[in-house]
Structure 1
Amino acid sequence: MTATPKLDLPLLAASQAQKHVTHNEALMALDALVHLSLKSRTQLAPPPDPEDQASYFVPDGATGGFAGQEGRVATFSDGHWMFRTPRAGWFAYLESESAALIWTGTGWQGLGGGDSSPSRLGVNAVADTTTRFAVAADASLFTSETADHRLKINRSSPTGTASVLFQTGFSAAAEIGLTGDQALRLRHSADGSSFGDAMIIDTVSGQVAFPATSGAVGGDYLINGDFSINQRNFGGGALADGSFGYDRWKAVGATSLTLSGGRLALAAGKIRQVIEAPDLAGATVVVSVESPTGAIAVELGSASGLIAAGGGRRQVRLTLGPGDTGNLALSLSAASGSVNFAKVKLEHAPAASPWRSRRPGEELFLCQRYYRILAFSLSTGTGGGTQTYSLPITPPMAFIPVATRLGNMISAGEAGTSRLTSSSANTASTFGVYNGGTGMVGGIFELVAEL
């Protein structure tokens, strides 16, 4: 062996002449390599006037006196260049970048400082292949060098995660950030693994929702979304095209539906509710239902989508077109076969909020704008003459209703009661009737102003 295995220092041979030459060469090599300091790792050719013992790492594409020496350390010693091949584990300080480096066997890897990139760093803590930067301290400070400082958390795709996770005893309690989509979410967790949304901000529209707080934002544009109002006494089963069953919901095509335990079983066809002038053109809305047993096809104006099957509140986000003005039709049908679901909502929000029933009587009041049964019996007690009355309709209906007399309320004396033809007596908020000869006006009338 004529040289050392690590630093390639020349060894003295037995009975060698001029031993001092070999010895001095080894010392000069030690002087260059111990506490190795590199001037640069981008110098392609020897500098014109190098300092004695100055060292450079020769990069790919070297020229001149460095040509053919790529990947080696060049040291100018005693008027000429010496080239040595670095071995894994060599340390060097890179002067041009103010960085400490280690040679991995294939390249230089930073240890910190400058623009070097260590694969992991632990400060009073152990970093690993997942948590590559770990700090154990009572406080951490990131401050500006000039006027501003911005902390950036980047993800590689729109379905990835970029967030800050808050833990207690290394168990997650809260999280804020982008988690799986383009919305900024504030999430909470009671068990450290399952999360619920406390706040959602749509990063496109700026809409804000508070899913954990019933009715906080958005409002429900639908009426009778739980199908609880049933003024027509629909018993479930088949509905012909255009016919209404539960209030505000009509059949589109041959439809079959049944309500049981608050859940609607839609066996065939499609149900539709026409929403009166919601002013949602161009808006992003969310349609949601409770625990659908199958996928639900949703149509709203020019937009459409699917609500996937699953437990809890399930939703689809839809962006309406600029032409979706005036009254807006929402249609629901099974994407395949039949489907069972409950509690439909339409909200102008980035995410669905929990179901919240309206106050007692409020839902019926809203339904009666479009359909109601009006029952009355009035008597003058005289038994003769033509009796004329204008009855108030509260709430006012959507337009002048179509009236159908269903029968008497109390007695046969009401039988001749008819609706007045006068436009002033019959409006969306008044119902004019008359009867001649009996002294009684009355009956049961069906008033329809469905959209």
Structure 2
Amino acid sequence: MADTSSCLSLPYILPSQAQKHVTHNEALRILDVLTQLGVLTDDQSVPPTAPVEGDRHIVGDAATDAWAGHDGAIALLENGLWQYFDPKPGWRAYVIGRESMVVYDGTDWIDLDSDELQDIATFGLGMETLPTTPFAAKLNSALWTALYQADGGTGSVLSTLNKETSLDDAGLIFQKDFNTRALLGLFGSDNIRLSTSADGVDFRDGLVIDAGTGVVEQPNLPRFKAMTNFDNYTSADVWTTIAINAAEFNDQSVLDAGSNQFIAPVAGTYTFGATLTFKQNASDKARLSARLLLNGTDVIAGSLGEITGAHVSEQTTLQIQTMALLAPGDTVELQGLLRGFDGYFMADQTSFWGFKVG
């Protein structure tokens, strides 16, 4: 069994030891010196000419006189004599004379604002770092606050992410259990991107802001524009679902050409519109009507329209437009009606469109 502790070399009281109070007091003396360590100086190589009992110093380099041979040690004046304590890596001390903190790295005492600490290769706070992430912190919250003007600052606080070329990345990565779920920043270009992923592999841009113009794009916004590519025959006085089967664009595949329906992928507010062009069969006297139907049963408020005047075949058009609050899976379809006489809704001139607005 060792006679002293491994870190501070505190003497142990041994079995059957005489004058145990001497050993105990020596341990207290060492603790009194080394805990809450504050020293007067750390850059003197010569002992002060008029030291005071209890003064502590970190001996400077190339020490002389009574301090000779004790470079870097902690020197304590006790009972008129200098006592020395050799530091161990990680010990810290407050240098009263210049109001600075220093730390011992195993060889030298280093200022906490020294060049060596300004160029640390890795820094882990609550966790170990990895070669690809030289700075890592494991914590529940963090705060960045500006240095106020009253404290000598500007009152502002800025964080800067800098990249080398336009093709490089600069941004924030959001993860779940270290699996990426979202990106925000300049990824692969100088455009601002907000991108999400359900699996950490397939990413979809929800928002892109062009670096040159500032124009905002929503690449995956649910939206479509389509038309019918054949004349849709409609019997007199029968609401008929128009076969909207030729899409100009159909983001998120929201328009199902098989059922001729828009299918809401997510909840939200949507805008819809349609243009219907009349084409006569035997008569041009039919009244032209249109509506949007929700889930195959309910007429969407504001979507019902009708033209009652005389029609010109292949020229008379009816336009409708409205908004609807939809739940995921809700369907919207375009219907037309020719009142009194049959006829057609004209190919390539009858269209249906919509998109999510909120």
Q: Structure 1 length as normaliser, TM-score?
A: 0.33
Higher relative contact order (CA 8 A, sep 6+): 2
Q: Structure 2 length as normaliser, TM-score?
A: 0.39
